[in-house]
Structures are given as C-alpha cells and as structure tokens.
Amino acid sequence: MIPNQWYAVLESKEVPAGKPVGVTRLGEKLVFWRTSTREVACARDSCAHRGAALSLGKVQGDHVACPFHALEYDPSGACRLIPANGRSAPVPPNFRVQTFLVREAHHLIWVWYGAPRSEYPPLPFVPDIDDSFAYSTFPSHWGVHYSRCIENQLDAAHVPFVHYNTIGRGHRTTIDGPILRWEGDHLQIWTYARLEDGSLARKAEEMGPPEGLPRLTFYFPNVWQNYLAAYIRIVLLFTPIDEENTLVYTRFYHRVMRIPGLRQLISWTGKYFSRVIALQDRRVVNTQRPKKTALRMGENLFPADRPIVEYRRRREELMAASREPAKDKV
C-alpha cells in the first residue's frame, strides 16, 4: 500500500453503534467502534495485555473493552481501566494499543495510512457527488492485490471481450488513444473505442484535444469513477485487505428522479447491473499473475495500456516519496 494516503476501508453502515467490528484492512487486523457521540474510532485489534481480539469485546461508552479481562481502551489507544487492579488503580502507560486516524464522509469510513502530521490532505473522493445522488452498493472480494483491480478499470481494451454480452456489445475492438491528463493526483482518461475498419489505432498525439469531460477518473490511492452522465456515475472503491486480497465496493450513483419508489427501483437495477459487470471482471482478474503489479514486471504492453503505465509510474513516485525523511510530523 502507498503510505501517507487516505483509504476508504468500510461503508458507514458496517460500523453500527454499540458493537465493535473487526476487519482486516491495509494488511492489519483492525477494530472499529463508535463512541457515545457516534464518532468512529479505530485501533489495532489486539489487547496490550495478552493479545486477545478487542473486536470480540464490548463498547463501554467511548471505550472498547477486551473480551478476555475487560481492559478498556479509549479512542487514543490508552488503556483507562484494568479491572483486576481495581477501578481506582492507575494504569501503567505501556498499556496502550496503536490507533489510526479516521474520517467519516460520503457514507464511508476512511483511514489515514501513514505517519501523523500537522495537516492532512482532503479525502480523495469525487468532488461533485453529494447527497442529491441516491446510490446502491455491491461489495465483492477479489483474490488479488488492489493494484490489479485498479488496473482492470483503467483498461479499455478488455471491454469487448470480457463484457461481450453487456457493456462490450458492439465489439468495438480498436482503441484510439486513450488521451490522459493529470490533475494533481487525479488521472483523467478519455476513451475512444471503434469498430475494426482496417485502419491502425490512432495515438493520443494524433487525435487533438479531447472534447467534453473525461470518461474515467482515478483518484489516488483507491477511488475510481466512470462518468456515464452528470446524473449517473459508477464509483469503485478498491479497499486493500492484504497483499493478495481486495474488497471492491461498487457503487451506482444516480439522481434521475426523486419519487421514492422509482428512485429505489433505479438504485436496485443499477446495483444488479453493476454486480454482473464486476463479476465478469473478477473472473478474469483473479487469474492474473503475479497478484501484485509493479512499474516494470516483464509484461508485453501495447498503446491502449498507457493508463496502466501512468498509474504504475505515479504509484511508484508516491511510494518513493513516502520513503523520504518526514518533514511534517506532529
């Protein structure tokens, strides 16, 4: 994973009030819980006493309590109670667990994966999707590193083959471009697929400036949008579980109408269709080896793979930057 980034790791509804939730994310076993003010806290899922999973315990006010000996930890990771010592006994400072900074927005829970700092970057989400959109979500587990899942969504050339009976109908196999632009750490992609007519695919520099908004946008480190229209979007959140597993949240956003019943029907239909597409992709991507990608890995690429190369190049730059001495620690 790329350090010093915000990662969307759970949907808000997956962390209910009054109950700790244990998951593996970013290669770590984590526990999430809500405080008395419904704010989300996150810590490593291992008690400082004897290593029991805190996620099997209880929420006590703002604290999470270990299921083994009921030690209680606050959102900062400090242990506030060791029952066996008596409630009035001071707690030694070494009784603490590692915690992670959390933000909640867009009905998602985000974790800062990196060193603490005085200021944090904004959350990397699609800026013009707000609560005027309805959405539905389909989560799916993929048995590869999250880089494989991301690269699949940057790849226009697979569409007429993997999705031959869905979004790839029409068999537009020739890929012109694609045209790419960077906006900060956002990769914007204009895709052009056409029927085979005997002519060579055009290179991006032969096509002139793109027209309209980009069809695809990738927001580092793990958010992707397919811009179908101003009122219909597909957003994928590639949540790293570990080096070989990813949870992909596929969200269908729309604001086609505001009539409640029809609005829900459109959300359900979009979710069903998104599920079909996601499973067609997963069937193939799960077979790719190695499970994790790198900038240079002995592949034979062609021009339509340029978005993948750009993603790998920028990912490598961010990884290298994270290894530099920190200049902004609290």
Q: Can you read off the two tokens belonging to residue 204?
A: 């991006």
> Nearest to residue 101, comparing CAs of 119, 89, 83?
119
Query: Model confidence over 71-106: pLDDT tens digits?
Result: 999 999 999 999 999 999 999 999 999 999 999 999
Range 192-201 average pLDDT: 96
Q: How far apart, in whole angstroms, are the C-alpha atoms of residue 112 and residue 8?
A: 9
User: Phi-psi bin for 87: left (phi > 0), alpha (psi -120 to 50), beta?
Assistant: alpha
What integer pLDDT is reported at residue 186 of this predicted model?
A: 95
What integer pLDDT is reported at residue 326 of this predicted model?
A: 56
CB atoms within 10 A of CB 194: 14
Query: Model confidence over 264-316: pLDDT tens digits?
Result: 999 999 999 999 999 999 999 999 999 999 999 989 999 999 999 999 999 99
Q: How far apart, in whole angstroms, are the C-alpha atoms of residue 326 and residue 306?
A: 32
For each of the domains in the chain, give its residue range(s) and CATH number, in order of start. Answer: 5-113 (2.102.10.10), 134-320 (3.90.380.10)
The contacts of residue 211 (CB under 8 Å, 6+ apart) are none
Range 24-41 average pLDDT: 98
What integer pLDDT is reported at residue 36 of this predicted model?
A: 96
| Percent of the chain with pLDDT strictly greater than 90 | 91
> Nearest to residue 315, comparing CAs of 175, 187, 216, 144?
187
> Nearest to residue 235, comparing CAs of 132, 137, 311, 134?
137
What integer pLDDT is reported at residue 257 of this predicted model?
A: 79
Range 187-215 average pLDDT: 94
For residue 256, name the pLDDT band (cuts at 50, 70, 90).
confident
Let me know: does 73 contact 98? Beta carbons within 8 Å.
no
Amino acid at 220: F
For residue 329, name the pLDDT band (cuts at 50, 70, 90).
very low
Query: Model confidence over 22-32: pLDDT tens digits?
Result: 999 999 999 99
> How many residues are there in the chain?
330
Strands 216-219 and 223-229: antiparallel
Is residue 325 pLDDT above 70, yes or no? Answer: no
Range 55-66 average pLDDT: 98
What integer pLDDT is reported at residue 330 of this predicted model?
A: 39
Q: How far apart, in whole angstroms, are the C-alpha atoms of residue 46 and residue 60?
A: 17
pTM value surpassing 0.95: no
CB atoms within 10 A of CB 231: 12
Is residue 322 pLDDT above 70, yes or no? Answer: yes
